[in-house]
């Protein structure tokens, strides 16, 4: 899991030289900005279950009020309206290889059919003392019950195989973990982790288990193996998520952008929501030892004064795993290759301009500096977005300027009361370092590291209804 806490965390665009009109547009002497248009209205969503936190599950559910109040892009969700009313993963076994499973969680406990602990080679994975909630959060995204409490998983009726893994693995351990998952009957295996280096033996073994051959899982149809691509904003390289037979999943934000952290590259298969400003609401350990003080991690979770939401490609991978369970429920005979081809058709097309996200880094709070890199773009349009520290949307504004691809800005005036004035490539902005606001820039076009947008985004963002419509 990546608990994404911005280094700069506090900026404010208020004060000298900045005015706001009746529509919320912000002006100063050098920047003319226009608020983004209001999102379109969609009819109500699910007709099953009434989970109390469903409205904040922006990744699968578009609640008009939540989207508007939090500035969520109207297409940020996975377009599952029809599918989630029809399919629930019934009859499909999903293995989660992870750590920190809350097997007593009321949203999960009834669907756990097998467990195994590779730390001590027993079936006991009760981890209350460990205070690690990663596996619980991952599993909740897949399988939390559709009922009248809490959140809803993508595939709430799957059967769960929970495999507790150690922090250090030998290659032979890895092979044995996947063999165990397949032996226990897994149709889908979710892996929200990676090592960054895959050996020949592990690569071949994963490909064999995923293959439509006698060595494949699921009685030779091939087990579906899903890996998170990683959170280092770097090329995936020789990672488990790059293995040919594996589904490698990157992360998008509530702005429907590639997140600033998501690893990328030509081996990325697809992206799904992983959150950035807004996290993915999911399950936590019971009580307060986990990431929250109760059994849920909220989209805007704060614990001990720190942002504690579940954010990362760890959240994106189980979204795809849940979606694949729905697909197998509709047609259990689909192979991994079949589904990879179907995903190419069933994704949200990337003709929509998905910007390359840029962070503003506060390098020195006592002497603040804006700093960023724009990839290889030299003349760029930007969206400037302002949120509270808890992620609430304040506004998004279009600005433009020319540059050489990198930029920085130093403080030109200390206005007192914690407010400073700076110049950003010739444009005056004002901010306060002790206020509760976050400012982010998004380049509206992106090329970086020689990879095209399609390489960044694989096939594009998963679109569940389209995917299932194309399955016979």
Partner 1 sequence: MKQLLILVFLTLTLFSAEQANFYYERGKKVSLEAIPSVQRSVNNINYYQHANGSVVGVSDKILVKFKHFDESLLKKYSLSIKKQYSPLLYLLKNENTLSTLDISNQLFNEDSIEYAHPDFIRKVSFR
Taking CB under 8 A as the binding criterion, the range among 18-26, 190-198, 216-224, 400-408 that sits at the site for partner 1 is: 190-198
Beta bridge partners of 429: 422
Other Cβ atoms within 10 Å of 93 Cβ, number:
23
Q: Quick one: which of 28, 64, 171, 341 contacts partner 1 (CB under 8 A)?
A: 171
**Interface residues for partner 1 in 120-159 (CB under 8 A)?**
134
How far apart (Å, rounded) are the C-alpha atoms in residues 64 and 442? Answer: 24
Report if residue 194 touches partner 1, rule: CB under 8 A.
Answer: yes
Beta bridge partners of 387: 393, 438
Report if residue 314 touches partner 1, rule: CB under 8 A.
Answer: yes
Q: Quick one: which of 126, 148, 179, 404 contacts partner 1 (CB under 8 A)?
A: 179
Taking CB under 8 A as the binding criterion, the range among 49-57, 68-76, 87-95, 227-235 that sits at the site for partner 1 is: 227-235
Q: Quick one: which of 48, 52, 172, 288 contacts partner 1 (CB under 8 A)?
A: 172
Contact flags string 42-81 toward partner 1, x per CB under 8 A: ----------------------------------------
Cβ(454)–Cβ(250) below 8 Å:
no
Q: Quick one: which of 95, 165, 360, 438 contacts partner 1 (CB under 8 A)?
A: 165
| Residue with Cβ nearer partner 1 (65 or 167) | 167
| Residue 356, Ramachandran bin (φ over 0: left; ψ between -120 and 50: alpha; else beta) | beta
| Residue with Cβ nearer partner 1 (132 or 334) | 132
Q: Quick one: which of 1, 374, 432, 466 contacts partner 1 (CB under 8 A)?
A: 1
Report if residue 32 touches partner 1, rule: CB under 8 A.
Answer: no
CA-to-CA dists, residue 426 to 30, 401, 411, 429, angstroms = 8, 8, 12, 10
* Residue reference for tokens 């989209």: 299
Beta bridge partners of 341: none
Q: Which among 284, 327, 333 has a CA at the least distance from the CA of 78?
A: 327
| Residue with Cβ nearer partner 1 (118 or 356) | 118
Beta bridge partners of 379: 402
Cβ(216)–Cβ(206) below 8 Å:
no
Taking CB under 8 A as the binding criterion, the range among 142-150, 223-231, 383-391, 439-447 that sits at the site for partner 1 is: 223-231
171 class by beta-carbon count within 10 Å (0-12 exposed, 13-18 middle, 19+ buried): middle
355 class by beta-carbon count within 10 Å (0-12 exposed, 13-18 middle, 19+ buried): buried
Other Cβ atoms within 10 Å of 37 Cβ, number:
7
Residue 326 CA from chain centroid, whole number: 19
Q: Quick one: which of 74, 204, 361, 445 contacts partner 1 (CB under 8 A)?
A: 204
Taking CB under 8 A as the binding criterion, the range among 147-155, 225-233, 384-392, 456-464 that sits at the site for partner 1 is: 225-233
Report if residue 230 touches partner 1, rule: CB under 8 A.
Answer: yes
Residue 347 CB partners (closer than 8 Å, separation 6+): 270, 459, 460, 461, 462, 463, 466, 467
Q: Which among 274, 278, 319 has a CA at the least distance from the CA of 464?
A: 319
Helix (H) or strand (E) holding 358: strand 356-358
Site size for partner 1 (CB under 8 A): 39
Report if residue 245 touches partner 1, rule: CB under 8 A.
Answer: no
Q: Quick one: which of 16, 201, 345, 425 contacts partner 1 (CB under 8 A)?
A: 201
Report if residue 215 touches partner 1, rule: CB under 8 A.
Answer: yes
How far apart (Å, rounded) are the C-alpha atoms in residues 308 and 95? Answer: 26
Closest approach of partner 1 to the CB of residue 388, in Å: 26
Taking CB under 8 A as the binding criterion, the range among 47-55, 310-318, 363-371, 410-418 that sits at the site for partner 1 is: 310-318
CA-to-CA dists, residue 70 to 39, 73, 279, angstroms = 11, 9, 12
* Residue reference for tokens 């009361």: 417
Report if residue 28 touches partner 1, rule: CB under 8 A.
Answer: no
How many CA atoms does the CB half-sphere of 38 hold within 13 Å?
10
Closest approach of partner 1 to the CB of residue 321, in Å: 14
Closest approach of partner 1 to the CB of residue 460, in Å: 21
Q: Quick one: which of 83, 117, 145, 231 contacts partner 1 (CB under 8 A)?
A: 231
Contact flags string 367-396 toward partner 1, x per CB under 8 A: ------------------------------
How far apart (Å, rounded) are the C-alpha atoms in residues 260 and 75? Answer: 18
Taking CB under 8 A as the binding criterion, the range among 70-78, 194-202, 347-355, 450-458 that sits at the site for partner 1 is: 194-202
| Residue with Cβ nearer partner 1 (312 or 355) | 312
Closest approach of partner 1 to the CB of residue 311, in Å: 10
Site residues (vs partner 1, CB under 8 A)? 1-2, 98-99, 134, 165-172, 175-176, 179, 192-197, 199-201, 204-205, 208, 215, 228-231, 237-238, 312-314, 317
């Amino acid at each position: 899991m990546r608990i994404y806490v911005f280094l700069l965390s506090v900026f404010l665009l208020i004060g000298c030289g900045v005015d706001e009109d009746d529509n919320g547009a912000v002006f100063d002497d050098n920047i003319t900005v226009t608020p983004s248009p209001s999102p379109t209205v969609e009819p109500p969503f699910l007709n099953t279950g009434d989970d109390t936190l469903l409205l904040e599950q922006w990744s699968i559910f578009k609640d008009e009020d939540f989207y508007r109040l939090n500035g969520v892009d109207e297409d940020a969700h996975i377009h599952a309206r029809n599918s989630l009313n029809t399919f629930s993963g019934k009859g499909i076994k999903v293995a989660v290889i992870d750590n920190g499973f809350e097997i007593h969680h009321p949203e999960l406990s009834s669907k756990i059919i097998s467990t195994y602990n590779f730390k001590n080679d027993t079936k006991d994975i009760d981890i209350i003392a460990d205070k690690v909630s990663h596996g619980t959060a991952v599993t909740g995204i897949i399988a939390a019950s559709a009922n009248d409490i809490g959140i809803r998983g993508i595939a709430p009726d799957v059967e769960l195989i929970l495999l507790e893994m150690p922090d250090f693995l030998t290659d032979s351990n890895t092979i044995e973990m996947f063999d165990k998952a397949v032996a226990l009957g897994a149709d889908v295996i979710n892996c929200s982790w990676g090592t960054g280096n895959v050996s020949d033996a592990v690569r071949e073994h994963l490909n064999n288990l995923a293959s439509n051959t006698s060595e494949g899982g699921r009685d030779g149809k091939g087990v579906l193996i899903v890996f998170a691509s990683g959170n280092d904003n770097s090329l995936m390289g020789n990672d488990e998520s790059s293995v040919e037979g594996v589904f490698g999943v990157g992360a998008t934000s509530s702005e429907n952008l590639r997140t600033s952290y998501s690893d990328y590259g030509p081996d990325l298969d697809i992206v799904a929501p992983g959150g950035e400003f807004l996290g993915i609401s999911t399950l936590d350990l019971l009580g307060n030892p986990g990431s929250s003080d109760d059994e849920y991690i909220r989209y805007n979770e704060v614990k001990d004064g720190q942002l504690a939401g579940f954010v990362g490609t760890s959240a994106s991978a189980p979204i795809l795993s849940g979606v694949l369970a729905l697909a197998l429920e509709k047609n259990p005979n689909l192979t991994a290759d079949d589904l990879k081809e179907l995903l190419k058709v069933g994704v949200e097309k990337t003709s929509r301009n998905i910007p390359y996200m840029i962070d503003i880094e506060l390098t020195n709070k006592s002497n603040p500096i804006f700093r960023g890199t724009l990839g290889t773009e030299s003349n760029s349009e930007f969206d400037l977005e302002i949120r509270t520290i808890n992620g609430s949307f304040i506004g998004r504004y279009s600005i433009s300027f020319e540059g050489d691809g990198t930029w920085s800005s130093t403080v030109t005036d200390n206005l007192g009361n914690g407010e400073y004035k700076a110049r950003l490539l010739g444009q005056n902005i004002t901010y306060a370092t002790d206020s509760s606001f976050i400012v982010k820039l998004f380049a509206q076009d992106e090329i970086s590291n020689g990879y095209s947008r399609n390489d960044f985004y694989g096939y594009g963002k998963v679109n569940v209804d389209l995917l299932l419509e194309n399955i016979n």
